[in-house]
Amino acid sequence: MAKQRESRWVKWVVSRIVRFVLWFVVKPEWKGTEHVPAQGGAIIAANHLSVTDPLTVAHFLYIGARRWPTFTMKDAVMKIPVVRSVARSTGQIPIKRGSADAVKALGEAEKALVEDGSSVIFYPEGTCTRDPELWPMTAKNGVARLALTTGVPVIPVAHWGEQNILPYGEKKPRLLPPRKKVQFRAGPAVDLSEFRGKPITATVLDGATRAIMADITALQAEIRGETPPAEPFDFKKARQRAAEAKRSEPGEITRTPEGPTADSNADRTAEDTEADNGKNSTGA
């Protein structure tokens, strides 16, 4: 029997608050919910458009697919008293980036999947997409590793529309009517049979990760009715190119009353640039 990870009454209150708020802002369209297993552990792998999409993804999973959404959440978010209490009462998983606790958090995610039969949501990209056309980027290998070590299915989920509510980099959401159309599409479990049963090497993880992201991208292409790029946007390489270009420029950093110019931040670590949301900071 799977363990009940959440407080029933807190779930009831939180779900109704979220549904009430989203009703005024979002006009959802959900397809493919039948692909989400009705019970048992499942990895829900989704693209990441906006800091608002954890709410819409959770809404899709809970109302559309009838599964309770479990996220991994940044430890910084878990330090907020009210948020911490609600997150713990709803079964969310705290994680500290770049520490031994990150490994512990992945262990907690594995336990939630295997022992508790939870549906755990991950953003494989690890951060909101920086692709100029908002296609899914290259991803980290955490989801592939969990899938191959646990054997649970990976359900690809693509969505489109949250960028019209709060585009990445903006602080003021667009909440005025009309309600924004947000489309979701889930697909069958990603076929990882080619990689299962093999030693967990970088090559195997890279291949499995590409398979997962290819399915997510294909689903988003169906929603958008467009052709995705032949190669996904590589955020790490783009940042490296920007940093190299900055270092090759003569002169000192130009400062404004607000601080360094945007280009002077090109050498920030991935941890800094990815601190744009409170969910799935593992990149798993």
Q: What is the pLDDT of residues 11-21, one digit of tens each?
A: 677 788 888 88
- 161 near 258, Cβ under 8 Å? no
Dihedral class, residue 233 (left if φ above 0, else alpha if ψ from -120 to 50, else beta): beta
Distance separating the N- and C-terminal Cα atoms of the chain: 26
Q: State which fold the 8-231+269-273 domain adopts.
A: Glycerol-3-phosphate (1)-acyltransferase (3.40.1130)
Q: What is the pLDDT of residues 58-113, one digit of tens each?
A: 999 999 999 999 987 766 666 666 666 776 677 788 776 655 555 666 788 899 99
pLDDT-derived band at 264, boundaries 50, 70, 90: very low
Whether 190 has a pLDDT exceeding 80, the answer reads: yes
To the nearest 5 percent, what fractions of the chain are helix, strand and coil?
A: 40, 15, 45
> Tokens 């090497």 label which residue?
201
The SS3 of residue 262 is helix
